[in-house]
Amino acid sequence: MKAARQSMATLGLQRVGIVDESLARALAVAYARHRDARISLLPGALETVRRFKAAGCALALVTNGSRRTQRMKIERFGLEPIFDAILIEGELGFGKPDPRVYELALSRLGQSPAETWMVGDHLEWDVAASQKHGIFGVWVDAHRKGVPRDSTVRPDLTVRSITELHPVAE
């Protein structure tokens, strides 16, 4: 990603007539720092997963992205102690929507699909792909746009905020 960001900065500068690799490098680094500093969890996510953990639920974090970026987020938000399994695409070599990641999550949790929920904000990767394994798919429609009309995905449950799941954890 570092090389890709620098390449994009170089191309952007070239489009406005500037050829300066050191400036492109500085822009790429500044962008990465700014982006990393702005990363946040869905509102209420931490409180919600803590409630499920306190209720005795087995929890897995399944996330796509590079090892470095995802581990930085996990550390920043203190997520590791909350989850029984953490599956990161950049560590495994595969991620959502690859069927292996859902199978591995179930295996590491020691759970059957029928007793498992997948909660996420991506209709295809979090909902449709998990439903193919018999997992209950919960879609967090944080932007309140609803399922697109042309989508074939039908979540088992749609919430606008992850905090709507609090009663389930009690």
Query: Which sequence spans correspond to the domains of the chain?
Result: 2-38, 45-169
Predicted local confidence at residue 170, as pLDDT = 81
From CA 133, how far away is CA 76, in angstroms rounded? 31
Predicted local confidence at residue 103, as pLDDT = 97
Strands (DSSP E) contained in the chain are 60-63, 85-88, 117-120, 136-140, 157-159
List the one residue out of 85, 103, 84 whose CA is nearest residue 94.
Answer: 103
Residue 3 vs residues 24, 94, 169: alpha-carbon distances, Å: 11, 21, 43
Residue 63: both structure tokens together:
């996330």
From CA 102, how far away is CA 60, in angstroms rounded? 10
CATH code for the structural domain at 45-169: 3.40.50.1000
CB-neighbour burial class of residue 114 (10 A; exposed 0-12, middle 13-18, buried 19+): exposed
- The answer to whether residues 46 and 54 touch, using CB atoms and an 8 Å cutoff, is no
Predicted local confidence at residue 27, as pLDDT = 92
> Largest Cα–Cα distance in the chain?
60
Bond into 97 cis (ω within 30): yes
From CA 163, how far away is CA 17, in angstroms rounded? 49
Q: How crowded is residue 78: how many other Cβ atoms within 10 Å of its Cβ? A: 9
pLDDT in tens, the chain (170 residues): 678 888 999 999 999 999 999 999 999 999 888 888 888 898 899 999 999 999 999 999 999 999 998 999 999 999 999 999 999 999 999 999 999 999 999 999 999 999 999 999 999 999 999 999 999 999 999 999 999 999 999 999 999 999 999 999 88
From CA 67, how far away is CA 74, in angstroms rounded? 10
Helix, strand or coil, per DSSP, at residue 87: strand
pTM here is 0.83
